[in-house]
Chain A
């Protein structure tokens, strides 16, 4: 296990470097620069010497490889630099926002699990019944609805006294008040729950005919024990894989959810950063995003061993 973990952790370094290089190259190739993007028409009010000095001070006039090496060297030292626009350390920006994005993702994941797994199990147990059809149609609707649309509908239904019931605040973080988190988590989790429900259902159906289930029943275990200990547990392996893969979906979904619900996470920071070509912020957020994705995938792999004791890592 330790060997496996060490190997996986070492693999993180080239993976991150690869992502960093590609992202930096794309960021460099994007037309425009932060000075023009920020100043707009005001650009012409400044003397050319001032503009040149600004480019010099941000290092924008240096060749690609010099800028790239500068960024990589700083990243190795865990120095993410300073935002071109906000003049604030990128580590501070991420330090404040990453926990909030993770909080939203965790909320979304929680919602998806408590909706998706029971729905999948019920569907499988009641295969071809009206309830199975209903749940699968709902899952299809959940999969088909874009997150931003779900967000708007949820706001209309649950925050507006005129068009629904004003149960939750419209938007915001509310200084960490949990009530502000409920609606964005529901929206974020609904799409994912649809996928989880469908995978759980098909996996449950696949496992249903296995010999060990017949044996479990034959030895007199209660149906509930058979379901939880043998049926569901074995059906969960592909579900765990899907959950791991869906983390990327959660991250991109959180970008839209954050915008609709005014949630102060990474998504709300990266969009203006891209618009203003604020490369240090773009690079910093993407690196943390990539790292989060890699770590969660690693945890997912480790989780296999818990779900299925036959799996051993060496």
Chain B
């Protein structure tokens, strides 16, 4: 009897041993949900959030911006010097880290020494990024601060004067004007020239870099798989064996998958379920202030609102941000009670703000020459003591809305308030293609957009939305343009912030934009996930190579 029992346990042990061994060797894969696939993976063609979510794990630049700390860290360049040449131009000298190898993936064969990153390789990447053919690169405009870059892009020069290889591991970049953000905005994702040539057009669907993860496969709208780079230069990184980006077209499905432990994170909550989800997964929930601003913009190119600043101000006073975001949207965002910049930015408190005040809004409309007459447009509105009659001379206002955000409570709330003021408002809900077409053609008098800054720096908002009529508002104020140009080259931080403060004051006084909300970076993560630290720019900025998995906590 004893012998039989002993034999049974021996057999059980022998059978179980390989199973345990298999379990121990099972690769640790991060299961990361995404809502949109990257358009493609070519670093010279696109730089959207969907692309960045994936490619920041594959590509590296000379420097790296740590979104969580705001620090600029060495990456492919182990060090750099900033000096001046004899013409007083700013000169960056980068020492490239020797021995960094490009990923070895299917379809790419390297010759002797071709896998290593050298100054020549980095130069090739800059020249490709500056290529004037938009089929090759759309990044040339971002790098035109490099001396001679414009001439090269336009095809009038064969070389870029400001790019020089000093030796195998040293590259020098000279700028026409000082640019304090060059170490962030002037960086190019470095890919292998050999892979670029051998993959041909497939470079859009496969990525070859030097980063902590390398490309394995991509099935669009299904999954994109990366594995740990076995030759990565930084010891101990990455801490997992791979990442599986899983595309969930539907937020509900992602939530169900999270509930069943099929994914490790949840980044978007189904509409109207935010509070319930947070309550259900209170231990998994994380939140921090973000760098995204949601705003309503007026078209300043022409039309009714361009000519009526008082009406713009009245509309600004009619938006009840507190009720919209804190109560009705269950705290999904912070109400934007300040200005265009989220509170973590310098110069984020403009002199003029527009708190919710219907009485003041009505006075402004009267003052603008649109007095209220007759009976109110609507009989009564809850929480509003008084409503005003239809306004003489006031045209019917059409507001353009992206379909994806048309369900936000702020929309209905604003419409109610404007109607109460005596303004007839209709909302035109459009899909992405139609919406952007309306804006580009100046058909949209008022619209709602969002802008996600990558850096805690006013230039990352103003330079894109305000400078020289670039943004959807088409706001082009010479005084503001000049201040922004001065700020761009101002190296003293305090002086620079004062310039941005002036810009912010002017823009808010002009009421070209109605800040509505500042984002919260919110997500769920399973208890076994460790060191997932996103920056304010969004969850996509978290360095996944630092993330580890505590297998003991996994079910």
With A46-B138, A87-B204 as given contacts, are A31 and B253 in contact (CB-CB < 8 Å)?
no
Question: Which A218-236 residues have a C-beta within 8 angstroms of B?
Answer: none
Assembly CA distance A170 to B258 (angstroms): 9
Residue B431 interfacial (CB < 8 Å): yes
- Give min CB distance, A134 to chain B, whole Å: 30
- Give min CB distance, A67 to chain B, whole Å: 17
Q: Do residues B464 and A40 form an inter-chain contact, with CB atoms below 8 A?
A: no
- Give min CB distance, A169 to chain B, whole Å: 7
Residue B527 interfacial (CB < 8 Å): no
Residue A54 interfacial (CB < 8 Å): yes
Residue B372 interfacial (CB < 8 Å): no
Assembly CA distance A197 to B225 (angstroms): 44
Q: Do residues A43 and B436 form an inter-chain contact, with CB atoms below 8 A?
A: yes
* Chain B residues with CB below 8 A from A274, complex form: 431
Q: Do residues A36 and B436 form an inter-chain contact, with CB atoms below 8 A?
A: yes
Question: Which A127-183 residues have a C-beta within 8 angstroms of B?
Answer: 152, 155-156, 159-162, 166, 169-173
Assembly CA distance A50 to B464 (angstroms): 17
Assembly CA distance A258 to B220 (angstroms): 13
Q: Do residues A276 and B433 form an inter-chain contact, with CB atoms below 8 A?
A: yes
With A155-B253, A262-B249, A275-B433 as given contacts, are A170 and B464 in contact (CB-CB < 8 Å)?
no
Q: Do residues A170 and B253 form an inter-chain contact, with CB atoms below 8 A?
A: yes
* Chain A residues with CB below 8 A from B436, complex form: 32, 36-37, 39-40, 43
With A31-B433, A155-B256 as given contacts, are A41 and B40 in contact (CB-CB < 8 Å)?
no
Selected from A33, A54, A159, the residue in CB contact (under 8 A) with B134 is A54
CB closest chain-A residue, reference B465: A41
Q: Do residues A38 and B259 form an inter-chain contact, with CB atoms below 8 A?
A: no
Assembly CA distance A139 to B520 (angstroms): 46
Q: Do residues B260 and A161 form an inter-chain contact, with CB atoms below 8 A?
A: yes
Residue A248 interfacial (CB < 8 Å): no
Q: Do residues B138 and A275 form an inter-chain contact, with CB atoms below 8 A?
A: no
Q: Do residues A86 and B220 form an inter-chain contact, with CB atoms below 8 A?
A: yes
- Give min CB distance, A268 to chain B, whole Å: 4
Q: Do residues A170 and B257 form an inter-chain contact, with CB atoms below 8 A?
A: yes
CB closest chain-B residue, reference A52: B134
Q: Do residues B470 and A44 form an inter-chain contact, with CB atoms below 8 A?
A: yes
- Give min CB distance, A218 to chain B, whole Å: 58
CB closest chain-B residue, reference A269: B221
Residue B309 interfacial (CB < 8 Å): no
Residue B395 interfacial (CB < 8 Å): no
* Chain B residues with CB below 8 A from A33, complex form: 433, 437
With A43-B440, A170-B256 as given contacts, are A268 and B221 in contact (CB-CB < 8 Å)?
yes
Residue A212 interfacial (CB < 8 Å): no
Residue B205 interfacial (CB < 8 Å): yes
- Give min CB distance, A260 to chain B, whole Å: 6
Question: Which A251-295 residues have a C-beta within 8 angstroms of B?
Answer: 258-262, 264, 268-269, 271-272, 274-277
- Give min CB distance, A123 to chain B, whole Å: 34
CB closest chain-A residue, reference B133: A53
* Chain B residues with CB below 8 A from A259, complex form: 249-250
Residue A310 interfacial (CB < 8 Å): no
Residue B472 interfacial (CB < 8 Å): yes
Range for the number of chain B residues in contact with chain A: 35 or more
With A36-B440, A44-B471, A260-B250 as given contacts, are A275 and B221 in contact (CB-CB < 8 Å)?
no
Question: Which B200-220 residues have a C-beta within 8 angstroms of A?
Answer: 201, 204-205, 219-220
Assembly CA distance A53 to B220 (angstroms): 27
With A88-B204, A262-B222 as given contacts, are A41 and B451 in contact (CB-CB < 8 Å)?
yes
Q: Do residues A30 and B434 form an inter-chain contact, with CB atoms below 8 A?
A: yes
Residue A16 interfacial (CB < 8 Å): no
Residue A237 interfacial (CB < 8 Å): no
* Chain B residues with CB below 8 A from A86, complex form: 39-40, 204-205, 220
Q: Do residues B141 and A45 form an inter-chain contact, with CB atoms below 8 A?
A: yes
Q: Do residues A277 and B433 form an inter-chain contact, with CB atoms below 8 A?
A: yes
Q: Do residues A166 and B434 form an inter-chain contact, with CB atoms below 8 A?
A: no
Assembly CA distance A119 to B449 (angstroms): 53
Assembly CA distance A169 to B47 (angstroms): 34
* Chain A residues with CB below 8 A from B37, complex form: 272
Q: Do residues A57 and B135 form an inter-chain contact, with CB atoms below 8 A?
A: yes
* Chain B residues with CB below 8 A from A50, complex form: 134, 138, 140-141
Q: Do residues A96 and B219 form an inter-chain contact, with CB atoms below 8 A?
A: yes
Q: Do residues A169 and B262 form an inter-chain contact, with CB atoms below 8 A?
A: yes
Q: Do residues B222 and A264 form an inter-chain contact, with CB atoms below 8 A?
A: yes
Q: Do residues B138 and A268 form an inter-chain contact, with CB atoms below 8 A?
A: no
Question: Which B25-40 residues have a C-beta within 8 angstroms of A?
Answer: 36-37, 39-40
Assembly CA distance A261 to B262 (angstroms): 13
Assembly CA distance A265 to B259 (angstroms): 25
Residue B279 interfacial (CB < 8 Å): no
Q: Do residues A32 and B260 form an inter-chain contact, with CB atoms below 8 A?
A: no
Q: A44-B470, A45-B464, A86-B205 are in contact. List 12 more A-B contacts (CB 8 A).
A: A30-B433, A32-B431, A41-B472, A43-B440, A46-B138, A86-B40, A86-B204, A259-B249, A264-B221, A268-B221, A272-B36, A275-B432
Nearest first, the 3 closest Cβ-Cβ pairs linking A and B are A32-B433, A264-B222, A32-B437
List 30 A–B pairs whose Cβ atoms lie within 8 Å, in order of A's numbering. Answer: A30-B433, A31-B430, A32-B436, A36-B436, A36-B440, A37-B432, A41-B449, A41-B451, A41-B465, A45-B141, A54-B134, A86-B220, A88-B40, A88-B205, A93-B220, A152-B252, A155-B252, A155-B256, A156-B256, A159-B256, A170-B262, A172-B222, A172-B223, A173-B222, A259-B250, A262-B222, A262-B248, A262-B253, A264-B222, A275-B433
